[in-house]
Amino acid sequence: MDFRNLGSIDEALRVIGDRYTRFHYSQFGEDLIIYSLLETYGRLRTPGFYVDVGAFHPTFISNTRMLRHLGWRGINIDGDSAKIDLFLKERPDDISICALVSDTIEELEFSRFAAGALNTADPALRAQHVSRNLEVVQTERMTTRRLADILHEHVPAGVTIDLMNVDAEGLDFNVLKSNDWDAFAPFFLIVEDHHLSFRGGVSSEIFNYLGERRYRLVAHTFVTSIYVRDM
């Protein structure tokens, strides 16, 4: 079914979810949780603005595709220029940027895998994938950019970021540390966190860092944490 031409938020809500079913794009159901949170916080009928770092694909395992049906628009950032070309085609009214994001400006080797969702500039993660006989199809030297610099340049004047998604394949904490939290503090935050532990209390570098910035963990699905900012 083609959901791209839904005529209204009411029609989108009817198709995406009802009392008994939910339609989703995310890999681990993250957008189903976001749908419920939008209901909980009274934001389901109000289109917002997202920032998707490590956006990967406009539809496949996308945490922001469902939001598009609800009238949301935003910024997509990915290190793979071919994927950004897809965003430019499929989401022409979004801002789509080819960039590697980190907290330091440096040149890194960006590895593209046959399984594109595994693309990474993290040497340890690259070595892990290669040890599992996953195929690297291309490498490229790229200079990183800070998220704060990208957002100061591209977020439209007067626009508030309602949701940020960070899936940077090993550089997720680096991405968070590169943000300007005084200027860009989204209400909802989705971030991949492979190190979150629930033994003896919740902890990880990302969890502790976001807690210091008034973010409260409200859900975790497989490797993805979802936070809400306490106002």
pLDDT for 117-162, tens place per residue? 888 888 888 888 889 988 888 889 999 999 999 999 999 999 999 9
pTM, two decimals, is 0.89
Residue 117 main-chain phi, psi, to 5 deg: -65, -10
Please report, for residues 24, 31, 105, 117, 136, the alpha-carbon distance to residue 60 in angstroms, rounded to integers and kept in the order given. Answer: 10, 12, 30, 10, 20
Q: How far is CA 192 from the centre of its chain?
A: 8
Confidence bin at 1 (pLDDT 50/70/90): very low
List, in order, residues 6 or more apart from 117 with CB less than 8 Å away.
27, 56, 57, 61
Least confident of 7-21, 62-76, 165-179: 7-21
Distance CA 166, CA 76 (A): 10
Mean pLDDT in the chain? 90
Query: Most confidently modeled of 15-19, 168-172, 194-198, 215-219?
Result: 215-219
Q: What is the pLDDT of residues 217-227, one digit of tens each?
A: 999 999 999 99
Evaluate whether 142 touches 110 at the Cβ level (below 8 Å). yes
Q: Which amino acid is residue 211, in one-letter code?
A: G
Assigned fold of 9-229: Rossmann fold (3.40.50)
**SS3 category, 37:** helix
The residue behind tokens 């994938």 is 129
Residue ranges of domains in the chain: 9-229
